[in-house]
Structure 1
Amino acid sequence: MAKRAKRMEREEPMVHCDKCRRWAYLDETNFPSTDAADAPVFVCNLCNTIEVLQARLRASERETDTIRGVILAVKEHLQEPLKNAKHSCSSQLVPTVSTAAQMHLMDVQQERDQAVVESEGGQPLQSGQEQLSYADVSAQSGEGAQQGGCSFSHATGEAQGLPERTQDTGGVSETMRLKNGTNAGLNGSKADDHSLTNSKKAYRRPRKWKKNKKAACRSTPRVIVIGDGNAPRIMSELRRIWGNSVLVRQASERKMMADKLQPLIQSCSEGQGHSVQLVVVHVGVHDVFQGVQHGDIAQNIQQAVTPYAKRLVICSVPEVSMRGKATQARAMLLNAELRKMSGAVKSKFVDLSRMLEGEGRLAQDGIYYLASTTREIATQLV
């Protein structure tokens, strides 16, 4: 049964929860007064919320078990043809080494008999040393299956009519030939190395090649990314997209303000000439955090980027909601000013507000982009 109590420091009536033993303010309950809360059983809103969440969790677990069973059934259904195919393949006969040796010896015997018939005018020789019978062939094939490749090569030599001494010393002579060939190869490699060394000493790379390479590097289009701590992330994604065809550089400060943009962009683009085809500016969010007026921020950015207006891309400021509604409102006003300024100087404005909507788009601090977010932003800049 619910009980009444009073909190001494605030003098506010409270009701005791019968489930979690927690005291809840009377305003959080449906009772008009503490006297009405004496008889019935009271359960606070926190306990009710926990019960609802537990019910949802149990329902989700049941759905997960059902989906898992369906997946296993589909997997078994798809693997049945593979099991049947493996069973049919294993039931087929596989030729062994003895049968292969037997077939080879029979072919050799037929070729030798045909050659003898042609040389003797159609009368084959009946000598036991020069002709093998079918029983000898099967016996030799059985010995080849037991003793491995050596007996098989020995039987093949007998079938071809080679003398016994040549068959026994064949492996030794082959080994000697391999050793001699290895030594000759080593001597030849030394001589080749000596000749290659002389040719390398005599060859000199022309200097025109280096000059052409420097000229090609100067003519390669360049992209400069300038701004806060998100600038290096955008630069990495642009390098991954363009590869070696475009040189991408960045100049950034972790908490960069808009008043530092002009000297930084001048020092970064100095000496680049017309090879700088794109300048990406991502700055302004830290000015918003410091409480700078959006008009002053837009004016500082406009003074810095006016010489590069035709090849300029201005990114919108992240409308961060984690720093309060006032900060988010200042960011939205600054984005409106940047859009207006981009239209005045005829530069490109990239609105990132739609990409940053939802969870999992920014890091925990609410400022820096995650990898997937940076990839989408770089795709919009290309």
Structure 2
Amino acid sequence: MKKTFTTISRLPNNLNKVLTLLFLSTLISLSNLYGQTLSPFNLLTPLQNDTILLTSTNLNDSVLLSWDPSKNSNGVDTTTYTFVLDTVGGDFSNPRFDLPSGMSPGIKLPKKFILQLANQRGITSGVLFAGIWRVKAQSKGIVRYSESTRKIFIRNSVITLSPFNLLTPLQNDTILLTSTNLNDSVLLSWTPSKHPNGVDTTTYTFVLDTVGGDFSNPRFDLPSGMSPGIKLPKKLILQLANQRGITSGVLFAGIWRVKAQSKGIVRYSESTRNIFIRNSVITSVEELTRLDAINLYPNPAKEEAVLVGLIPHKDVISIIGVTGKTEAVFTASQTSNTLPVSILKSGIYFVKIQSGEAVVVKKLFVQ
């Protein structure tokens, strides 16, 4: 059987027109896609060999990085820009700065922000950085770079505090809070940070946050004045812990650092450390405060000493000698809490008041 082939030219007129229009439309679309370009553009500011000077007194100023706009040949302006800075001699494959500016042909950078970026990238106080910059323009997958690059300097002359490190507690140490160790203290310490003018006016703040936190809303924020350390009674730690939800039975995993300040200059410790707080105290802050408010009168005493304060009848009172021997045990009375110390030899004793799991010890001198 003889096969018959129909060419486009022999198709019905209407179908032939449709196919022709479709073919032409495709050609136009491809032409538009591959024919689009971005117009050339040039850098404006900073000028060639300009220096961005960072000092302690000009950090509220800003620097304008600007360039001509680059237009898409299709007439629709969707071009976005990125400011790119590299070390002189670099090829921009791993730039020091890479800052997008959106569709604006320029970006106004506060010097505070430049200082922050500079310190993060090793351009620290006293360093003169020689760089080269250009701008990258993009629109619908089309990329074009500024027609030229420019050399620029960043001089960091901001007076800073000297680096300092954390000492104690050590990494992953645990602060254990129990009913029997609340009279102990915990030493938080670090090396001092010095002001370059030689006048030591640096003050410190201990800052504790949850592991994974960024210290923007810390759990603890404790100033220590000009001392490179702070000795915290565990009673205070317990009080702070309870206020912040670290209640009995909770193990809190935190991270801490120290903030140093002097005459408007701020520096943080070179590192952070993980720390744990385990609250094993089976009592409330109110109970602890009540016991701590109890006093002995008179002290020193000869015949008897009176416990002054709110003492429920269930509390147990013990008198203990310096050797650790328990000399006498009493149950607190609702009417009288007088201790007959005349039965004791002259010397130093400890009066232990226990209410459930909470314990407070008072020193007693017997004449």
Is the strand fraction higher in 1 or 2?
2
TM above 0.5, yes or no, is no
Q: What TM-score results when the alignment is normalised by the length of structure 1?
A: 0.21
Rg larger in structure: 1
Q: What TM-score results when the alignment is normalised by the length of structure 2?
A: 0.21
Is the helix fraction higher in 1 or 2?
1
RCO comparison, higher one (Cα < 8 Å, 6+): 2
